[in-house]
Chains A and B, each alone.
Chain A
């Protein structure tokens, strides 16, 4: 579009004029400086109705791209919108600046084409599947913004109360300082919990890339990360190899080993042993320790999020480690267990199916979540 045309078609009044011409499958709109819609074709209106996105939130969604276009760049990008039924649809969006005679950008022209259409939903199952994909993606985005946005105020709580502590050091008595310390500790606890919950969410949602994995070397690998300061004896039997996602299983071993190290019995020479065997159609692995153990009546509670059998004064922790273990094992179609007595040590075990119950490398698992 040249400068003359642009000047001719840009109205100064609102609401937008709808131009019912041009390609029916390309939604076209023109935006002004404030992000306001100046001009749109029929396909754009259809798109708006279908997606259920109001003009204001549309302009918000597009604002980083519009900003680039105002800076003189030609923008090509993809955008996902969700329709009123909660099903996602992908669009290819091109934005270019319309210039006046002096070459100043005075408006933006946006063309929007459907790349991946909303699925034709012939039956209820397909609709549910499509919804599930969309919800999974939204959950992913939610976790992402939590990791960004929740940390900033926590940093401010810790930073500014620390600053107050330092500046007012001479004016504060011991009780005042203790109270400030509680504020800072609580902020850090929330932050640790966020990190753990994000880890749990990633473990639940990330695609798996399973392969035959040498468990003995994986355990030794994990031990290098966490076993450095352990003063007792550590022993690994020859473990059966198994079909699994290596990064997830490494995470599992990190959690089990950390636990075994943490719950040592004071005054006793600590001993951790890892054993494994094949049995029926499963590969079984067990971690034995001679630590403080636990009350067997609560064994089932151990694998639930935020459940702890020891107070934070006894052993620090937040009750997420074993939930992560259970989640990883369940994604592999396996099972977990715990055995122990108070003061008599504990055994944590899991079994994975010998045969692959899930797809080969490259395929996304579970298949229902293949929207990424």
Chain B
């Protein structure tokens, strides 16, 4: 497991972002968490543009934790942009949201989300879920190799 690779958290709520960071910390996941407050900022980071111009595009996060309700650009649009670009389309994207609505789940998988997780309201369950997510996506899962495009 590469402890250096970042986890990209796209989350507009400060409280939720802090809780997620704490839950990952309690679950002993050491990877640094980089947080973006909206969909456009997330895409700027991933495509190394705007504030992140000059960043190495091939240096990808280990995983993206993506909220659905985001200002400026909704989560599904972020996901669509990721899947539409050959350089980053294999990036594991986990939808991490409050919603358990059928239409959200369906749309997320229609847009090729790797996984859909409803954020538990119970913090202890949230820590438990974070531990399982970390174990699966950062340890067990073998990501696609880098591809030069």
A interface with B by C-beta (< 8 Å):
63-64, 67-68, 71, 144, 147-149, 151-156, 158-160, 162-163, 187-188, 191
Chain A neighbourhood of B99, CB < 8 A = 144, 147-148
Interface residues in B3-52 by Cβ distance below 8 A to A read 13, 15-16, 19, 22-23, 39-40, 43
What is the bound-complex CA distance between A355 and B99, given in angstroms?
38
Give 1 or 0 for each of B64-89: 1 = CB within 8 Å of chain A CB: 00001100111001000000000000
What is the bound-complex CA distance between A152 and B13, given in angstroms?
8
The 9 sampled A-B contact pairs (Cβ below 8 Å) are A67-B39, A147-B98, A148-B97, A155-B98, A156-B15, A159-B15, A160-B15, A187-B121, A188-B121
Is there a chain A Cβ closer than 8 Å to B148's Cβ?
Answer: no
Closest to A162 in B: B123
What is the bound-complex CA distance between A47 and B68, given in angstroms?
30
Interface residues in B114-138 by Cβ distance below 8 A to A read 119-124, 126
Min CB distance B19 to A, Å, is 4
Chain B neighbourhood of A155, CB < 8 A = 15-16, 19, 98, 119-121, 123, 126
- Given A67-B40, A151-B119, A191-B121, check contact A159 B19 (CB 8 Å): yes
Min CB distance A152 to B, Å, is 5
What is the bound-complex CA distance between A151 and B13, given in angstroms?
12
Closest to A155 in B: B121
- Given A71-B40, A153-B15, check contact A158 B98 (CB 8 Å): no
Chain A neighbourhood of B43, CB < 8 A = 71
Is there a chain A Cβ closer than 8 Å to B110's Cβ?
Answer: no
> Do the beta carbons of A162 and B124 come within 8 Å of each other?
yes
> Do the beta carbons of B122 and A67 come within 8 Å of each other?
no
Min CB distance B122 to A, Å, is 6
Is there a chain A Cβ closer than 8 Å to B58's Cβ?
Answer: no
- Given A67-B40, A71-B40, A163-B123, check contact A156 B16 (CB 8 Å): yes
- Most chain A CB within a 10 A radius of its CB, from B40, B101, B123: B123
> Do the beta carbons of B16 and A152 come within 8 Å of each other?
yes
B interface with A by C-beta (< 8 Å):
13, 15-16, 19, 22-23, 39-40, 43, 68-69, 72-74, 77, 97-101, 119-124, 126
Chain B neighbourhood of A163, CB < 8 A = 22, 123
- Given A151-B98, A152-B13, 17 new contacts (CB under 8 A): A63-B72, A64-B73, A67-B72, A67-B73, A68-B73, A71-B43, A71-B73, A147-B100, A152-B16, A155-B121, A158-B121, A158-B123, A159-B15, A159-B126, A162-B123, A163-B22, A187-B121
What is the bound-complex CA distance between A256 and B100, given in angstroms?
24
What is the bound-complex CA distance between A159 and B25, given in angstroms?
13
Chain B neighbourhood of A71, CB < 8 A = 40, 43, 73
Chain A neighbourhood of B77, CB < 8 A = 64, 68
Min CB distance A24 to B, Å, is 32
- Given A64-B73, A159-B126, check contact A147 B13 (CB 8 Å): no
What is the bound-complex CA distance between A162 and B99, given in angstroms?
22
> Do the beta carbons of A159 and B22 come within 8 Å of each other?
yes
The 7 nearest A-B residue pairs measured at CB = A156-B15, A151-B98, A159-B123, A162-B123, A159-B19, A191-B121, A67-B72
Chain B neighbourhood of A158, CB < 8 A = 121-123
Chain B neighbourhood of A154, CB < 8 A = 121
Chain B neighbourhood of A153, CB < 8 A = 15
Min CB distance B83 to A, Å, is 14
- Given A144-B101, A188-B121, check contact A64 B16 (CB 8 Å): no
What is the bound-complex CA distance between A158 and B124, given in angstroms?
9
Chain A neighbourhood of B39, CB < 8 A = 67
